[in-house]
């Protein structure tokens, strides 16, 4: 199952978040491949015209592959443990999903119109996280899920 990280904004090469993101991205692709998870693609979108959340939602929706499971990362979403997240990934993969797209909005979040279209909404808790850090956290959790499914000792309960 291919995974797509669709996010508003760009993380430049010189930003510390980029180094973390690339590290976990590489780890996930390496660990996920034998599990039929991945590759992971990153799609960054920017609303250069200043249209707000709705314009960002339109750009994000275009970045999601047709037929993909749409997962929004949103503070109102369901809070999962890492093993629960791993189980969901396996369920989607084993259910025949070819693609899953994880969507992270900009500074103002995800427009209600796009949230309403989501198949699943996941939260990292009741706290609000900077959208650049949320990307790193998501990719680390994807890697952690792959290690859980592979039986690796990376995840400790």
Segment 32-60 shows an average pLDDT of 94
Reading the block at residue 36, the tokens are: 């039929």
Question: In the 8-state DSSP scheme, what is residue 65?
Answer: P
pLDDT at 157: 64
Contacts of 26 by beta carbon, 8 Å cutoff, 6+ apart? none
Is the pLDDT at 140 greater than 80? The verdict is yes
pLDDT at 128: 86
Mean per-residue pLDDT of the chain:
95
Q: What is the pLDDT of residues 98-130, one digit of tens each?
A: 999 999 999 889 999 999 999 999 999 988 888
Structure pTM?
A: 0.95
pLDDT at 80: 97
Contacts of 157 by beta carbon, 8 Å cutoff, 6+ apart? 83
Domains and their CATH numbers in the chain? 2-150 (3.40.1280.10)
How far is residue 21's CA from residue 95's CA, in Å, rounded to a whole number? 28
How far is residue 78's CA from residue 73's CA, in Å, rounded to a whole number? 9
17 or 50: which leads in pLDDT: 17
Is the pLDDT at 51 greater than 70? The verdict is yes
Q: At what angle do helices 131-150 and 16-32 cross, to 10 degrees?
A: 20
């Amino acid at each position: 199952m291919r995974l797509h990280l669709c996010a508003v904004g760009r993380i430049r090469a010189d930003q510390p978040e980029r180094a973390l993101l690339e590290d976990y991205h590489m780890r996930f692709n390496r660990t996920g491949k034998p599990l039929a998870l991945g590759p992971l693609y990153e799609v960054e979108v920017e609303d250069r015209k200043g249209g707000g959340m709705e314009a960002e939602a339109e750009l994000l929706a275009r970045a999601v592959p047709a037929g993909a499971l749409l997962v929004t990362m949103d503070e109102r979403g369901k809070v999962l443990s890492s093993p629960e997240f791993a189980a969901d990934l396996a369920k989607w993969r084993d259910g025949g999903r070819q693609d899953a797209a994880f969507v992270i909005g900009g500074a103002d979040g995800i427009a209600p119109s796009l949230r309403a279209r989501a198949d699943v909404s996941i939260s990292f808790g009741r706290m609000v996280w900077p959208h650049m850090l949320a990307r790193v956290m998501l990719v680390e959790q994807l890697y952690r899920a792959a290690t859980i499914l592979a039986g690796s000792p990376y995840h400790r309960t």
